[in-house]
Amino acid sequence: MLTADGLTKRYGRFTAIEDISFTLHAGEVLGLVGESGSGKSTTVRCLVGLTKPDAGQVRYAGPKFRRGVQMVFQDPYASLNPRMTVAEIVGEGLLVHGIEKSSAGRRSRVGGLLEQVGLDKSDMDRYPRSFSGGQRQRIAIARAIAVEPKVLICDEPVSALDVSVQAQVVNVLRDMKLELGLSILFIAHDLAVVRYLCDRLVVLDGGRIAETGTREQIYANPRAPYTKSLLAAVPVPDPAAERLRRSAR
């Protein structure tokens, strides 16, 4: 669905990403993992066109890239216009892409979208400030899926949220994938979430791809040394297994 082909971006003498190539296939969830500074954000910004890469290109297998590729940002406190109501925020894509021209029609579509992400229809006339982080991220997801995209890019969509609501938002994303047949590019540094959600992984290290593989391959048998250390840092929620793992190291 979406292909990165040799993406490279330099800021002055600093190389943020170099020769990043991967493909997001239809219907899959692809995890893009790596620690801070590994180039995840730059890759995403190049993919959605917020940053122009110095070399390489992005290919989208479908018409209307702007409608077909949508994004959920990391910080739900910053990604919603504070001066627009939820109805305006979620309905804007319907308006600008000419999907639903009448305002009454948009309101009813927005109501349905809000319920789809687990919010209430009556929330649509409130402003973002009256919602919690988890609710705001649901609004952002509703905004993204409103235009019926084929690809959803989620840039660390739960890392700014309380642990208690992270799982809820991840489940909303998984439900959306199942219901709408979305392809999802999921950027994260939390490997537990990635393991739960992703079919395939691309591991970034220092602006380059360190390893690519299916979830099973990478979790069972990480090849790159960087992936091994990344996996070793994930706590295992079982004291016995954790002790075993530590002694094995």
For residue 216, what are its two tokens? 């099973």
According to DSSP, the β-strands at 200-205 and 208-214 are antiparallel
For residue 150, what are its two tokens? 């084929």
Write the interaction track for another protein spanning residues 141-180; mark x where CB under 8 A is met and - where it is not.
--xx--x---------------------------------
Q: Which of 66, 107, 174, 245 binds another protein (CB under 8 A)?
A: 66
| Least gap, CB of 212 to another protein (angstroms) | 25
Contact between 79 and another protein (CB under 8 A)? yes
Size of site (CB under 8 A) for another protein: 25
Contact 205, 226 (CB under 8 A): yes
CA distance 74 to 223: 29
Contact between 52 and another protein (CB under 8 A)? no
Contact between 84 and another protein (CB under 8 A)? yes
- Long-range Cβ pairs for the range 208-213 (8 Å, 24+): 208/17, 208/18, 208/19, 208/20, 208/39, 209/19, 209/20, 209/21, 209/22, 210/34, 212/22
Identify which range of 23-31, 52-60, 89-97, 213-221 contacts another protein by CB under 8 A.
89-97
Binding residues (CB under 8 A) for another protein: these are 48-50, 66-67, 69-71, 73, 75, 78-84, 92-93, 96-97, 140, 143-144, 147
